[in-house]
Amino acid sequence: MLDCGLDMTSTLNFLPLPLVQNPRLSNLPGWSLKDGNAFLDKELKECSGHVFVDSVPEFCLPETELIDLSTVDVILISNYHCMMALPYITEHTGFTGTVYATEPTVQIGRLLMEELVNFIERVPKAQSASLWKNKDTQRLLPSPLKDAVEVSTWRRCYTMQEVNSALSKIQLVGYSQKIELFGAVQVTPLSSGYALGSSNWIIQSHYEKVSYVSGSSLLTTHPQFSVVFQPMDQASLKNSDVLILTGLTQIPTANPDGMVGEFCSNLALTVRNGGNVLVPCYPSGVIYDLLECLYQYIDSAGLSSIPFYFISPVANSSLEFSQIFAEWLCHNKQTKVYLPEPPFPHAELIQTNKLKHYPSIHGDFSNDFRQPCVVFTGHPSLRFGDVVHFMELWGKSSLNTVIFTEPDFSYLEALAPYQPLAMKCIYCPIDTRLNFIQVSKLLKEVQPLHVVCPEQYTQPPPAQSHRVDLMIDCQPPAMSYRRAEVLALPFRRRYEKIEIMPELADSLVPMEIKPGISLATVSAVLHTKDNKHVLQVPPRGGWGPPPRPAQPTGGKKRKRPSDDIPDCKVLKPLLSGSIPVEQFVQTLEKHGFSDIKVEDTAKGHIVLLQEAETLIQIEEDSTHIICDNDEVLRVRLRDLVLKFLQKF
Amino acid sequence: MDPECSRLLPALCAVLVDPRQPVADDTCLEKLLDWFKTVTEAGPSLLLLQENPCLVELLFRVLKAHDPRPRVLSFSLRLAGLFAAQEDCFQYLQVTPSSSVSQQGELLPMLFGESGPLGGAAWTAPTVRSGWLQGLRSLAQHPGALRFLADCGAVDTIFSLQGDSSLFVASAAGQLLVHILALAMRGPAEGHPSPQGCDWPACAQKIVCHVEDSLRSTATPQVTQALNVLTTTFGHCHSPWTQGLWVRLSPLVACLLEKDPIPASHSLVDLLLSVARSPVGSSDCGLWETLAQTLSHLSPTQAGPLALGILKLQDCPQALKTQAFGVLLQPLACVLKAAAQAPGPPGFPEGATGDSITVDTFLSSKSACVGLLCQALAHLELLQLLPQRPSPWPQAPLLRAAVAILRFCHGSAAPTSDVGGHLCAVLAGCVRVQRAALDFLGTLSQGTGPQELVTQVFAVLLEYLTSPDSSPMVLKKAFQATLRWLLGSPKAPSCCDLDPHTQLFLGELLPVLRKRLCSPCWEARDSGLEFLTQVTRHWGGQAAFRHALLASEVPELTGQLLRDPESYVRASAVTATGQLSSWGLYATPTGPEHPEVQQESLFTELLHILSTDSEGFPRRAVMHVFTQWLKDGHADVAEDLEQFVARVLQAASQDLDWEVRAQGLELALVFLEQLLGQPGSRCPYAVALPEAAPPATLAQVLQALCRVQLFEFALRALFDCDRPVAQKSCDLLLFLKAKATPCGGPQEAGASPDVVSVEAALQRWQAGEQGQPLGELEPEAVMAVLRSMDLEGLRGMLAKSSDHMEKSPQSLLQDMLATVGVLGENEADCY
C-alpha cells in the first residue's frame, strides 16, 4: 500500500469546536427540511446560509471496501502528511504487515497526530450526529452535505493509544536503504526534497522497476525556499518501467515565492495599522519556511518589536525536532549543526524573544499576550484547535487579518461558519511540491517507460480549461486512474534471476558456439525459497536413479534432503549444427548405401535409400530416420548423422 | 621621430628578435603599432626607415628567424604594411637588401609571398594570419600594391582565408577583398564599367568571379562569405561601378530565393538592406521586386529584420512598405485572432491577417513562438519611435495585441481557439515576452486610444502590479509602463486636475504600491520607490494625486524604508522622501518600531544617513536631494540657509566616497550662485544680481562663506586625491575669484599672518597631510590666497588625464625595455 493519507476536508462540514463556551455557535438555529420537518435540527445548524453538522468532527478514511486490508503486507509512507490515517488501518482492519517510513516522518507524523487528537479530545462533545448520514435523508440536505461521498464510512478521530500502537508497527528506514520484501522485490526510499524526511520510493525486482513519486520538491533556485531538506534524488528514478506520480502541487498557478511575498506584505500592512495577524497552520512544514522568511524580513519591515506566537500542543517538540534531524537536512543546514549553530533561524527568533511558543492559549500565553501580534496556530480547517478561539476573538475587527497558507482546505469553506466576518482574509497558499513545468522536466530527465497518475493531472483544471500547460504532458501519454479504479500496470514479469552456487559454476564447461556465445549444459537442483532461486550441485551419484535411501533405523521413516530430488533420467548430449546434404550422401555411399535419391522439401531435404526402403528426413531442427523395423540399420544411420553434429 | 625614441629603437628591435627575451604583451605591441601609425601618417616613411635602419633589419631578422614567435611575426607583418602604404617606401622595401644581415632579398615578397610565413609552421597561429591580412590591408593603397598582390598570389590566399577557423581572420579576409576590389576599381575603371566585366581590371575581375562562384555554390558557408563581401562593398563603396556590380550579381542573388531553405538568410537580408541603402537602391527598380520577393519567401522570424530595415528606408515604394509592415504585424495579428472571443478582423491593415505560416511558427515550438513574438514587439517598438513610421499607425489593434499578449502571459486570457490554447500554454509565465510586451505597451503610451482600450491597458497593468507571480524585472517594467501611461493620460477638460479615469486608477494603484513597498523582495520595494519618485515629480502639485497619496499611507512607508537593510532601497527611499517633501507630501513616519520616539525632521534624518550610512548609494542620494532642495528653496532649507549648508558641507567633507564630495561641491556652487548670481547670466529681463556683487554685499557674502566653512571645504577638495573632485573645486574657486576680483573688494591683505598660515596649511595639504584644520578664516585672507594661487594653471594640469606622463612613446619604449631588463636597472636582481 502506497501511503495512508486522511481526507480531512470532511471536517469542513462540521461546526467548529470552540475552546470556551461560545454563545454565537451554541445559539445557531437548527436546520429543518423544506416541509418544516425539524427532526434534524439537533444535528444540523444553519449559519449564514450554510448548514453544518453539530457534532464531533469526522474524517474520511482511505478506501476500505475494494481490498481486504488485512492482506496488505507492507505500507510505504512518503511523508508525514501521508500517514494520518495509519491508526484506522493498523488498528481496525486486521492489518498485520509492516509500515516503512523514515525517522523524521514518524516523529513529525506523531506530532501531527498528537495535535489532532489533543485538539479534539480537549473539548469533548457529547453529541454525535448520525441521522443525517442516512442515505435517504442525505439526499434532502443542501450542498455540500448532499454531495459528500461515503459519509457512512466517516469516523471520529482516533485516540492516542491507537496512535502509539500504529506507530509501533512502523519500521524506520534511511534514504537509499535497500529493504528486501519477501525476496520478491526490494524497496528503497529516496529523498524527495519536500519535507523533513520525505521520500519517494523505488520498488524493484531484478528486471523491473517501479518508482513511486509523491510529494516532491525541486525548489533549488528559489531564494525564499533555499533548499532546506536534502534535495530530491532524481538520478535513482531513472530507468523505471513505471513511474507512479502523485502529490503534485495543489495550486499550480501560485508560485511559492510570490505567495511568501504576499504573505509578508499583508502581514506587515496589518501589523503596521495596529491589527493582528492569524496564520492557521500545521505545527510542521510550511511554518518553518514562513519563520525563516520572516526572520530575514521583520527587520527590514520595521517589525522587530512585534511578537510572534506559535501555539500548538506540540509546538515545542516541533521546533526542537527540526533542529536535531541534521542528517535529513540539506548540506548548508547540516554544516550549521556542526558550527554549532541551529540550522533553522527560528532558534534565534526564540532566543531573542521575538518568537514565543505555547502549548495552548491557556496558562502562560494569557499572561504574555500582547497586541498587535502574529499568531501561528492550528488547525488549518478552522474547525478545531486554538485557531477557533482567535477567529472568534479577532473576526469582528477589520484591522485584523487571517492569512491562509496551507493549500489543503478551501479557505472560503473554512471561513463559512464564521460569517459574517469583518477581519480581512488573504489567501496565500504555499505549496512547494512539483508543478507541471517541473514535472515535465523531471520526466524528461528520468524517462520512465510509463507514467501512471490520477486522472486530474491529465486534464487542465476545470476552472481553467484553456490552461493546457497545467497538465502532465509526456510521451507516451500518462495512464490515468480515478477513485476505486483497478489498473493493470503496463509491464509483465518475464525473467527471474537465478543464482548458481560456486561449486556448480566451477563444474561447467562452456563451449563456444559462435564467436562470443558459449553454451554449457547445466545439471543441477533448482532450489526456490522466499522467491530466491538457486541452482545447487546435484547430489553425488550423478543422474542415475536416486540412491536408495538407507534403511531407516528404529523403524521411523525420516525425510531426508535427498528425498526432495526428483527422479532424473540419464541425459543425452545436446546436439547442434547442420547436416550438409551432399557430404552426407557421399558418406552414405562410402558406407555402402547405393541408389540414393535426394528430394528437396519446403523445410529441408529427404534422402531416400530406395534399396533399403528407408527415408531420412532432414529439417532445420530435426532429423527423422524412417525405416521398417530395422533397428540395426536405424542405429547405423543415426551414427552417420551424428558425425555431422556437435555434441555437448 | 623624437631623438630619444630613435635612440631607444635599436635596443627594442634587438629585444624583439631575440628569442631568449620574453616578448612584451600584446597591448604593448599594439601601442607600438599605434605609435608607428601616427609617425607614418605624419611624415615620409622612407625617411623613417633610412634614419632607423634597425627597423628594416628587424623585419629581415624576424623573417629569417628559425622559429619566429607568432606575436612578433604578426607585429612585423603589420609594421611592414604600415611602411609600405606609401608608394616610395613600398618600392624601397620591394628591393632593399638588409645592411647587416647576410641574406638578401626582396623584403615584401618574402613577408607576404608564398616563400614567407604563409607556408611555415607559424602560419598555424591565427595571430600570424591576422597580421598577414592586416599588413596587406595597410599596404594596399596604390596601384603598385595591386600588381604586387597579383604577382605574389595573395588574392587566392585571401579567398581561402575567408573560411578560416578564426572568425577574426575570416572577417578580416572578407574586408580585405572588399578593399582590394575598391582599390582596383579606382582610377581607370572608375565610372560606369560594363556589367559583363570585360573592361574591369584583372584583379577586380578575379574577385567578382570568385564571388559569383561562391553564390552559385551549394555550400552555405561559401554563400555566406560571398554575401558578406557584397554587403561590405555596398555599405562602404558608393562609386558608380557598384551599380554595374549589382546588375551583374543580382540575378545570382535572386536565384538564392528559389532554393529551399534559403541559404544564409541572415546575410542575404543584410546584403539587400545594404544595397537598398546605397545609391544603387534608389536607381534600381528590380531591387524593390527582389525585396518584395524576399519578404514573402523568408520565414516570419527571418523576414522581421528585413521588414524593419525596409521601413527605415527613406525612399521606398509604398507597396513594399505596406508589405513590410504587414510582416511585422503578422505575429500580433495572430495573437489577436487567437485571443478573439468572436470572429472578426483584428483591425490591422490589409496584409497582416495572421497567416498560416506565422501560425505554424507559433505552434512549432515554445522557443520559436517566444522568439518571434519578442522580435516583433521589439521591432514595432523601434518603429514607433521613428519619424518615418507607417501612417496611419494602427494604434488601437496594437494596443489590443499588447494587452492580449500580456493576458496570455499572465494566464488570465480565456481563448476559445486551439491556437489560443497553445499560446496560453506556451506564454504562461514567460518572463521574456512579458518584458518585451510591457516595454512595447509603454512605448504605445505616446499615442492615444479609445477609452475602453485605455481602461483595458490600465487593468492589465494593474494585474501585473498586483500579481504575486510578477518577477522583479517584470514588476519594474510594469511600473515603468504604468508611469508612462499615467503621465500620458489626458487632463480633465474643466480644470488642470487629473481626469476621473486616472483618479479611479490611482485609487486602485496606491494600495498595490503600498503592498509592494512592504514586499520582502528588495527589487520590488526599489521599483515601487522609483515609481513613486517619478509620479510625484510630475504630479506633486495635482490636488487629486495629493489627496489620494496622503490618504494611502504610502508616504509613511517610504519614510520607513529609509532604514531598509538594502542600500539600493535606502537610496531610492532617500530620493523619494526628498521628492515627497519638496511637494509637502511627506509626514514623518510613526511606525510600530519606536512609537515613543519623537520624530525628527526629514532633514535631520537624511543628514544622519549622510553621516552614518555605510554604503555610498544612500549618501549620494542624500546629497542629490539636498542640492535639489537648495535649488528649489525647500522650507527646511530656507529656515536657516547657512546652518543647512554648513552642516551638509561638514558631513560631505568627511565622506570617503568621492562622488559625495563632488556633489558637496555642486551644492556649494548652487549656494554661491544664489549669493553671487549665475556665472555668465546675461538675460536682460532677469531680475538677477548684477554680474559682480557690490563691494558691501560681497563682503557679506564672503563672511557668509567663511561662516559655513565653504572655503575650507573647497580648498581641501582642491588637493583631493580624486581628480574630478579637485577639478570641480578648482572651477568653483575660479568662479568665486572671477566674481570677487573685478569689484576690487577688500584689497591686498599683503603677507598678513592669516595669509601665511593659510598658505602653510595648503602646502601641508598638498603634501598629503590633510589632518590639520584651517581654523577661523578672514575673508580678506582667503581672497588674497585665491589671488596668489595659479588656479588656471592648476585647472590645465587637472584637465590632463592622470596618465599623460606615461602615455608618451618614449615611456612606452622604456617600459618595454625595462620589462626585459635591457636598461640595466634590474641586473642585481638576477641570480
Kindly report, residue by residue over B57-74, the tens digit of the pLDDT. 888 888 888 788 889 999
A647: enclosing H helix or E strand? strand A646-647
pLDDT score of A548: 47
A264 touches chain B (CB under 8 A): yes
Chain A residues within an 8 Å CB radius of B593: 302-305
Q: Is the distance from CB of B561 to CB of B573 less than 8 angstroms?
A: yes
Beta bridge partners of A622: none
Can you give the pLDDT at residue B376?
Answer: 94
Using alpha carbons, list the distances in angstroms from residue A328 to A216, A296, A624: 15, 23, 70
In the three-class reduction of DSSP (H, G, I as helix; E, B as strand; rest coil), residue A69 is classed as: helix
Alpha carbon of B658: minimum distance to chain A alpha carbons (Å): 28
With CA atoms as reference, report the closest residue to A356 among A316, A308, A314.
A308
CA distances from A438 to A219, A442, A469 (A): 9, 6, 11
**C-alpha grid cell, residue B285:** 527598380
pLDDT tens sequence across B768-821 = 776 667 767 777 887 888 888 888 888 888 887 666 666 678 888 888 888 776
Please provide the DSSP assignment of B641-663 as one string: HHHHHHHHHHHHHT-S-HHHHHH
Residue A450, all three cell numbers: 510509463
- Interface of chain B toward chain A, CB-CB under 8 angstroms: 411, 413-416, 420-422, 424-426, 428-429, 467-470, 514-516, 518-522, 524, 553, 557, 560, 563-566, 591-593
Euclidean distance between CA atoms A417 and A490, whole angstroms:
47
DSSP line for B387-406? TT--SS--HHHHHHHHHHHH
Buried b (16+ CB within 10 A) or exposed e, B131-143: bbbbbbbbbbbbe
What whole-number distance in Å separates Cα of residue A339 and Cα of residue A356?
25
Question: Which member of A253, A265, A468 has the closest CB to residue B519?
Answer: A265
End-to-end CA distance of chain A: 49
Query: Are A265 and B426 a contacting pair at CB < 8 A?
Result: no
B80: which strand partners?
none
CB distance B592–A303 less than 8 Å?
Answer: yes
Report yes or no: B602 and B581 within 8 Å, Cβ to Cβ.
yes
Residue A623 cell numbers, joined:
532429423
Taking only the tens place, the pLDDT of each residue in B481-519 is 999 999 987 665 555 678 888 899 999 999 999 999 999
Q: What is the pLDDT of residue B152?
A: 84
pLDDT of residue B688: 44
Q: Per-residue confidence at B590, pLDDT binned at 50, 70, 90?
A: low
Cβ <8 Å between A468 and B425: yes
Q: Across the interface, do B424 and A254 touch by the CB < 8 Å criterion?
A: no
Query: Which range among A93-107, A125-139, A425-439 shows the weakest confidence by mean pLDDT?
Result: A125-139
pLDDT at position A117: 96
Predicted confidence (pLDDT) at residue A226 exceeds the cutoff of 50: no
What is the structure's pLDDT at B760? 75
How confident is residue B231, by pLDDT bands cut at 50, 70 and 90?
A: very high
Element (H, E) at A425: strand A424-427
* A261, A302, A428 ranked by CB distance to B591: nearest: A302
A574 touches A586 (CB < 8 A): no
What is the rounded average pLDDT for all residues in chain B? 85
- Asked if the Cβ–Cβ distance from A264 to B518 is below 8 Å, we say yes
Count of Cβ atoms closer than 10 Å to residue B810 Cβ: 14
Give chain B's largest Cα–Cα span.
97
For residues B591 and B605, the model is more confident at B605
Rounded-to-integer distance, Cα B603 and Cα B625, Å? 10
**Please, is B379 exposed, middle or buried when counting C-beta atoms within 10 Å of its C-beta (0-12, 13-18, 19+)?**
buried
The DSSP bridge partners found for residue A343 are: none
What pLDDT, on a 0 to 100 scale, did the predictor assign at position B751? 53
Exposure of B105 in the CB half-sphere (CA atoms within 13 A): 16
Least Cα distance to B725 among B734, B714, B736 occurs for B714
The answer for residues whose C-beta is within 8 angstroms of residue A205's C-beta and 6 or more apart is A184, A185, A186, A493
Q: What is the mean pLDDT of residues A152-180?
A: 95
Q: Which of A263, A272, A472 is the best mutation test for B, with the most CBs of B within 10 A?
A: A272
- The helix/strand/coil state of A450 is strand
Please indicate whether residue B749 or residue B409 has the higher confidence score (pLDDT).
B409
ipTM of the complex in this document: 0.73
Across B635-652, average pLDDT: 90
Q: How confident is the model at residue B693 (pLDDT cuts 50, 70, 90)?
A: very low
CA distances from A56 to A124, A126, A384, B609 (A): 8, 8, 10, 59
Instruction: Count Cα neighbours of B767 within 13 Å in the Cβ-side half-sphere.
Output: 8
Which pLDDT belongs to residue B778?
A: 77
What is the spatial distance between Cα A477 and Cα A467, in angstroms, rounded to a whole number? Answer: 18
Q: Are strands A277-280 and A401-404 parallel, antiparallel or unpaired?
A: parallel
Domains and CATH numbers, chain A: 174-248+450-489 (no CATH), 256-427 (3.40.50.10890), 575-647 (3.30.310)
B219-222, Cβ contacts within 8 angstroms, sequence gap of 24 or more? B220/B263, B220/B264, B221/B163, B222/B163
pLDDT tens digits along A49-88: 899 999 999 999 988 888 899 999 999 999 999 999 999 9
The reply to whether residue B422 touches residue A468, judged by beta carbons under 8 angstroms, is yes
Tell me the mean pLDDT in the region B143-168. Answer: 90
Strand partners, A608: A597, A615
pLDDT at residue A563 tops 70 = no
Distance from CA of A219 to the nearest CA of B (A): 15
Q: Does residue A271 sit at the B interface (CB-CB below 8 Å)?
A: yes
What pLDDT score does B790 carry? 85
Nearest Cβ partner for B515 among A254, A265, A467: A265
- Among all residues of chain A, which has the CA nearest to that of B467? A258
pLDDT at res. B444: 94
The burial class, CB within 10 Å (0-12 / 13-18 / 19+), for A110 is buried
CB A475 within 8 A of CB A488: no
Q: What is the pTM of this model?
A: 0.80
Closest CA to A620 of A577, A584, A575: A577
CB A154 within 8 A of CB A61: yes
The CA–CA distances, whole Å, from A335 to A110, A277, A339 equal: 27, 34, 7
Residue A403, pLDDT score: 97
Instruction: Flag if A262 and B424 touch (Cβ within 8 Å).
Output: no
> Strand A401-404 relative to strand A424-427: parallel, antiparallel, unpaired?
parallel
Task: Tell me the per-residue pLDDT of A8-53, one tens digit each, with 9 for 90 and over.
Answer: 999 999 999 998 888 898 899 999 887 778 788 889 999 988 999 9
Cα-based distances in Å from B214 to A88, B206, B220, B248: 81, 12, 9, 14
Q: Are strands A604-609 and A614-619 parallel, antiparallel or unpaired?
A: antiparallel
Nearest-CA distance B537 → chain A (Å): 25
pLDDT of residue A631: 87
pLDDT band per the 50, 70, 90 thresholds, residue B352: low
Name the pLDDT band for B576 (thresholds 50, 70, 90): very high
What is the model's pLDDT at position A541?
55
Report pLDDT digits (tens) over B294-328: 999 998 899 999 999 999 998 889 999 999 999 99
How distant is the Cα of B459 from the closest Cα of chain A, in angstroms? 20
Cis peptide before A476 (omega within 30 of 0): yes
- Looking at per-residue confidence, does B227 or A130 come out higher? B227
In whole angstroms, what is the distance from residue A88 CA to residue A78 CA?
Answer: 18
Residue with cell 511585422: B328
SS3 letters across B410-452: HCCCCCCCHHHHHHHHHHCCCHHHHHHHHHHHHHHCCCCCCHH
Average pLDDT, stretch A471-479? 91
Residues of B whose CB is below 8 A from A464: 411
